[in-house]
Chain A
Amino acid sequence: MPLLEVKNLHTNYLTRRGVVQAVYDVSFSLKRGRTLGIVGEAGSGKTTSVLSILQLLDKNGRIDSGEIWFDGEEITKMDQEQMRQIRGNDISFIFQGLPMSLNPVFTVEEQVCEPFLVHQNMSKAEAENKVTEMLSLVNIADPESVKKLYPHQLSEGMRQRIMIAMAFACEPKLLIADEPTSSLDVTIQAQILTLIKDLKSQANTSILLTTPDIGVIHEMADDVLVMNNGFAVEEAPVEIVFGDDGVFSHPYTEELLKLPGLDAPAGACFRMGYASSLHRNRLHAGCVFTSRCQYATDRCREVEPEWTEVEKNHRVRCFYPRKGVRSNGR
C-alpha cells in the first residue's frame, strides 16, 4: 500500500469571474521511502495539489471531488482538528518563499520549539534541548547562540535550514517540499537539497517535492509527475524521463527537457506559453496543451486525451506519445 494516494483530485478556486479549475483530475501515488517530484511551470497546479492534501487552501479554494488516502486514511473528509493533528506531525511542509516562513518577532528557539510543544506535549525545557539537537542536525554550527537570535539576523541559507529542522522535528512520515529552492541562489540550493536527502535517509521519510526546475527533479526524485495547466500529463520513474533512449513522452516534458543549459548556443530559448492559466475554466474541449503544442491536430483540439500506459510504470496523457513519430511524422 502506498503512503499517499491521490485519486482524481479536482480543486477549484471560486473567484468573482467564475470558477477556476486549478487542479483537474490529478492522480498520483507515493510509496514509502520514495521521492515523488511534481514538475511544471508556474500556474500548473503543483502548489494547489499539495495544499489540497493538507487542506491549507485559501478560503476560496475547494476540493471539488477526489480522494486523498494517507497511510490508509481518507483525509479529505477529516475535520480541522483531525487535520491539525496530522499537520506538522505526520506530514510536514516546507514552503516556497521559505526564508519568509519564520515569524520575525520570535527567536529561532521559540519557533523551533513549536512542533514539539504542539504535537509531542513536551515541556518547555525538553523542547529547548531538542531544538539544539535539531539545529546541529541541519549543520548549524554553534546552535546554542543561533537559537537565541531573530530571523532577520540570519542568512537565507540558515533560515532555510532552520525551516527544514522544524519540518523534520516530529520525524514525519511525509515531507511536502513546495519549491524549496526557488528563492535561493545556486550554491545554497545544492546544500539544501543534499541536506534534505541526508535527513530523508536518516528518518526514512517520504518526500513529495514540487519544483519548476527539472534539474532539481533529476537530483532528488525517484518518480516524476509532470503537470501542465492543472492536468497531470505524464507519470514515470525518473530514469525513464531522463533516459537518453526513452521512446515515449508528452510533448510538454519534451520541451521542459529541452531547456537550454549553460552549454547551449547563444539564442537558444524555451518556447514559453503565457496566459494559459487564465482561461482555465475548461471553456474549450480537447487537450490543454494544444495552444503551445507543435504537434497538435484537430483531434487534440476536440477530444480530451485519456491516459495511455505506454510502458511499465509510464503513463502519458497524449494521443501521440511516441517521440519522433508524433501526429505529422515529425
Chain B
Amino acid sequence: MDNRTDLSNAQIPPMKRDGMFQRLFGNRNKLAVYTVEQNQNPWKMVLHIFARNRVSKWAGILLFTIVVLVFFGTMLRPVGIGYTEGTQLNLPPSRDYMAAPDDLLRNLYKIENGRSFGVGIDCSGEVFIWGDTRINNKVDIRNVPENLPPLVDISVGDDHVLGRTDAGMLIAWGNDRQRQSHVPWELENIESAQIEAGYQTSAVVDVDGNTHLFGNIKNIDYVQQHKWQGQIEQIAMSVDGVIGLTFDGRLVYLGQQPNFYSRVPEGRFVDVAASAKAFAAVREDGEIIVWGNLSYKGEGRVPEHTSPAVQVDGGRYHFTALLEDGSVIAWGDNTYKQSIVPAWLDGKTVKYLSSDYYQNYALTEDNEFIAWGLKGYLFGSDDFGRDIFIRLLYGGRMTITIAAIAVMIASIIGVVIGGLSGYFGGIIDYLLQRFSEAVASLPLLPFAMMLNVIVGSALTPAQRVYLMMAILGLLSWPDVQRLVRAQVMNVREKEYVLAARAMGVGEMHIMIRYMVPSVLSTVFVSMAEIFVCLILTESSISFLGLGIPLPIPTWGNMLHGANQSIVIQSYWWRWIFVSIALSISVISIRLIGDGLCDAIHLKKREDRRR
C-alpha cells in the first residue's frame, strides 16, 4: 500500500501581475497547499517556499552580497585605526587621478602629480590636466592663466602648479592662499635651472646656483642667506625642510636648526629627492641613502638592488628609483600599492620615471607608458583623508557584527526565559513575565545611550564595542521571550508531547526534541526583526557620537559629521553612500524576515490573501 501521491506535475495557478513593484521583482507566487505536501522535510519546505518568494529571494541575495563584501572585502586592504592624511581631505568620488590623456602620452615631456590631480606637458609645451582638480570653491587647477604660452618645464605642488615658459618666464597658478602661486617680480624672468613646487611653497634654483623660495616659507626651515648660495645645482623639498645638492656633489641642508634633515650623509651624490618627511639621495656609486623623519611606513627600507641607481624620486611617503639597467624599485608606504612596481615593467627599460603623492608614472624606451598607485577614491574620502569605501566595508563589518552578536545574546536569553516561563508556568512564569515587562518598558534608545555614556566613559574603544553588544542584547530579549513562551505553551499542551511523556521520554529530551524545533521558526523570524532594530539603534547612538567612538568605523559614526550643513551641502559623498548601505541592509533583512514568516506560516498567509 503506497499512500504517497505523485503531485510533481501539479498545476500552479498562473501569477497575477500588477503594480511596478511586482513587475520589477515579481509577484509572490501563489502556492496551493498540495504543492507543499510533496516537499518532505518541513525545513526544506520552508526554504522551498522562501525561494519561490522572489522579493525575499532577491533581498537574501542582496544581503548575502553585502555580508560577503563587508567580511571579505576588508581583507583586501587593511586600514590603520589612526590613519590620517592631511592632503587627502574630503575628496569627491573619482577614479581618474592617473588618467593621463593619450594626446599627452604620445609626446610626453614631463608629468607630475598633485594631491589629487595630474599635470603634464608634451614636447610642444602644451599643458594637460586631469584628475580631481577642484581645490576649493574658488580655485580649480584647470583654470590655467589666460594665454598660457608653451611651457618647457613644470612642477606640481600640493595644490598649485609652477611652470616655465620658453622665454624663461615663471608662471604659477592654483591655490594662492600662502602666496605660493604668486611669483615675486624679481624672480619672474630669472634664468632658472630648476623649479620646484612643494607643499604650500615654491622654489627656484637659478643657473648661478642660487636658491629662492616663496610661499609659506615660515613653515619650512630655510634661510635665504645660507652659506651655499651660488653653489647649488639642485634642491629637494620635503614638507618642512630643503636639501641642496652642490655643483661638486655634496648634500647640504639649507636650514639652520639641527634636526633629522640636517644630518646629511657624507660623500658625492648625483641625485636627491624628498618625500613628505624624508630625503633620499643617490651616491656616485649608485647606492641610495635615505635620511630624515623615517616613519613606520618604511621610507628607510631600501630594497636590495644589484644594478646601481641613477635617479630617485619621492612621493608622499614612498620613494622610487631608476636603476642603471632601466629597471625600477620602489619602497615606503604601500597603502594604495604605490610601492609595488607592476610586474608589467619586468624586463623593460624605463627611461623616464616620476613619482608624486600616491602616484607613479613610468615611460619605457619603447614609449610604452604605465601608471600605478592611487587611482582615486571610489566613494571619496572623509575629513581625515580616509577612503570612505574601505571605511564603509570596515564599518559594515563592525555594525553587522555588533547587531548579530547582540541578536544572539537576545535570542539566547529570550529562548531560555521564554522556554522556562512557558514550560513550567505558575509562579516561575509570573515572576519571569513581570521581570520581562520591566525590561521591555525601558525605552531602548535613550536607555542604551545613557548606559553607553555612563559605563562607557571609563572604557577603551574596543571595550565599548563589547559594551554596545551587551547593552543592545540585554535590552531587546523581551520580544523573543514573549513569542517563545506563547509557542512553548501551545506545544506543551499538544497530544504528542503527552504521548512522548507516556512513552517514558525524559523531560530534558522533550524540551530539546519537541520544544526547540517548534520554537526555532518563531525565533528566526523575530531574530530578523530584532536584527534590523538593533542595526538602526546602534547606528543612531553612534551617529549621535555616544556609541562606538571614532576612529573605529561603524555605519552610524561614519554619519557623525553629517549633522553639519557643510557636509550635507558640499561633501555629499560622506553621507550618501553610508546611508544607502544602511538602508539596503535594513530593507533586505526586513524582507527576508517577512519571507521567512510567510514561508513558516504558510496557512496563515493563504488566509490573509483571501
Contacts and interface: CB of A to CB of B under 8 A. Distances in A.
Contacts of A89: 504
A142 B506 CA distance: 31
B494 A149 contact: no
A103 B496 contact: yes
Interface string B497-530: 0111111111101000110011000000000000
Given A101-B495, A148-B40, A114 B3 contact: no
Contacts of A163: 499
A39 interface: no
B504 A100 contact: no
B37 interface: yes
A100 B425 CA distance: 23
B37 A95 contact: no
Contact of B502 (A56, A148, A152, A154): A56
B610 interface: no
Interface string A80-109: 100011111100110101101111111000
A100 B495 contact: yes
A22 to B, nearest CB: 17
A149 B507 CA distance: 26
Given A59-B425, A105-B517, A158-B3, A150 B502 contact: no
Interface residues of B, number: 28
Contacts, number: 85
Interface in A132-149: 140-142, 145-146, 148-149
B278 to A, nearest CB: 68
B481 to A, nearest CB: 21
B40 A154 contact: no
Contacts of B184: none
B4 A95 contact: no
Nearest to A142: B2
Nearest to A154: B3
B518 A105 contact: yes
A153 B500 contact: no
B1 interface: yes
Interface in B397-431: 425-426
A149 B505 CA distance: 22
A141 B518 CA distance: 30
Name which of A88, A140, A166 has the most chain B CB atoms within 10 A of its CB. A88
A54 interface: yes
A56 B495 CA distance: 12
Contacts of B2: 141-142, 145
A87 B495 contact: no
B3 A103 contact: no
Contacts of A97: 495
B503 A95 contact: no
Given A95-B498, A100-B494, A152-B37, A142 B1 contact: yes
B248 to A, nearest CB: 91
Question: Which applies to chain B's interface (DSSP): helix, strand, loop or mixed?
Answer: helix
B42 interface: yes
Contact of A101 (B499, B513, B517): B499
A149 B40 contact: yes
Contacts of A84: 504-506
Given A146-B3, A150-B42, A87 B518 contact: no
A266 B255 CA distance: 126
A78 interface: no
Nearest to B505: A118
Interface in B16-56: 37, 40-42
A149 B4 contact: yes
A119 interface: yes
Contact of B496 (A92, A101, A142): A101
Given A97-B495, A101-B496, A118 B3 contact: no
Contacts of B500: 103, 114
B192 to A, nearest CB: 86
Residue from B40, B501, B504 having most chain A Cβ neighbours under 10 A = B504
A91 B495 CA distance: 18
A181 to B, nearest CB: 15
Contacts of B4: 145, 149, 153
A153 B502 contact: no
A155 interface: yes
Nearest to B509: A118
A201 B182 CA distance: 115
A42 B516 CA distance: 34
A56 B40 CA distance: 33
Nearest to A157: B3
A158 B3 CA distance: 9
A85 B506 CA distance: 10
A115 interface: yes
B496 A85 contact: no
B504 A86 contact: yes
A237 to B, nearest CB: 28
A326 to B, nearest CB: 41
Contacts of B499: 93, 95, 101-102, 163
Contacts of B37: 152-153
B1 A119 contact: no
Given A145-B4, A146-B3, A149-B4, A88 B498 contact: no
B425 A93 contact: no
B3 A87 contact: no
A230 to B, nearest CB: 21
Nearest to B424: A59
A105 B500 CA distance: 14
Interface in A282-304: none
Contacts of A98: 495
Interface string A196-239: 00000000000000000000000000000000000000000000
Given A86-B504, A142-B2, A146-B3, A103 B514 contact: yes
Contact of A95 (B40, B426, B502): B502
B378 to A, nearest CB: 48
Contacts of B494: 100
Nearest to A155: B3
Contacts of A95: 495, 498-499, 502
Given A59-B425, A100-B494, A54 B3 contact: no
Q: Lowest 6 A-B CB distances belong to which pairs?
A: A88-B504, A88-B503, A87-B504, A93-B502, A141-B1, A101-B499
Interface of B: 1-4, 37, 40-42, 425-426, 494-496, 498-507, 509, 513-514, 517-518
18 contacts: A86-B504, A87-B504, A93-B502, A95-B495, A101-B496, A101-B498, A102-B499, A103-B500, A105-B517, A115-B503, A118-B505, A118-B509, A119-B504, A140-B1, A141-B1, A149-B40, A154-B3, A166-B503
Interface of A: 54, 56, 59, 80, 84-89, 92-93, 95, 97-98, 100-106, 114-115, 118-119, 140-142, 145-146, 148-150, 152-155, 158, 163, 166
Given A84-B506, A101-B496, A103-B496, 5 more contacts: A59-B425, A86-B504, A105-B42, A118-B503, A158-B3
